[in-house]
Structure 1
Amino acid sequence: MNSEHKIQSEIMLAVSKEGCTIIRTNVGKVRTADGRMFSAGPPPGWPDLTGFRHSDGKMILLEIKNEKGRLREDQKRFAEFIKDKPVLYGVCRSVEDALNVVRG
């Protein structure tokens, strides 16, 4: 079974070759100098990859899972929220899945 990281890297390369700009959505927590916790990145549930299609500027949002990966509740809520918006969104388990989304 491929790791989500490996699938994600392969998807980023393939989608870039398809005429899109795509970046990994980074998240994390850090402790500030005064001891407070700071959460960096988008809200919970936001997809792993964010980008746009050069031909028309349409936004791309891709959630990457391996063949056994399941969406968390916050990811399910995001998928429900985004389904009727004018963006290219999909849960991708392979390069083929991602290319189907960006060609959509």
Structure 2
Amino acid sequence: MNKREEHEIQDNIQIEVSKHDCHIFRTNTGRVEKKEGGWFDAGPPAGFPDLTGFKHSDGKIFFIEVKKPTGRARDAQRQFHYMLTNHNIIHGIARSPEDALKIIDEELVGYGYKS
């Protein structure tokens, strides 16, 4: 999988959404090898979306999972989607800045996820 393409889309989404009266933050994750052996998983739980933000106008939070045009949600991402849907939280899969702005402006819940 070409992660570079996905990162370019993510960067463009962050730029455009930040111009749109919103704050938006990239979610950092990673694995670190511990001195005593084993691994430590840093960051939020599995499936947590790539970008998180809020609208200045009303303070509503949103979550954006970034995918390249052919990308699909992993099982953990679908599970996180179900949890967000159950709480009526604005979220969706964005493959472009236009998708992200649609999710935010229309306050969509689950945009781009398939059952």
Decide which of 12, 16, 19 is 2:18's aligned counterpart. Answer: 16
Decide which of 79, 82, 95 is 1:80's aligned counterpart. Answer: 82
3-state secondary structure, aligned to 1:3: helix
Cα RMSD after superposing both structures: 1.7
Cα deviation for residue 36 of structure 1 reads 4.0
| Fraction of identical pairs, as percent | 45
Structure 1 unaligned regions, length at least 5: none
Structure 2 unaligned regions, length at least 5: 107-115
In the other structure, the counterpart of 1:47 is 49
Q: Scaled by the length of structure 2, what TM-score is found?
A: 0.83
Q: Which of structures 1 and 2 has the larger relative contact order (alpha carbons within 8 angstroms, sep 6+)?
A: 1
Count how many residue pairs are aligned between Structure 1 and Structure 2.
104
What does the per-residue CA deviation read over 1:63-97, in whole Å, with 9 as the maximum and x for residues that have no partner?
A: 00011000101111111221132422011011110
In the other structure, the counterpart of 2:29 is 27
Paired AA for residue 48 in structure 1: D
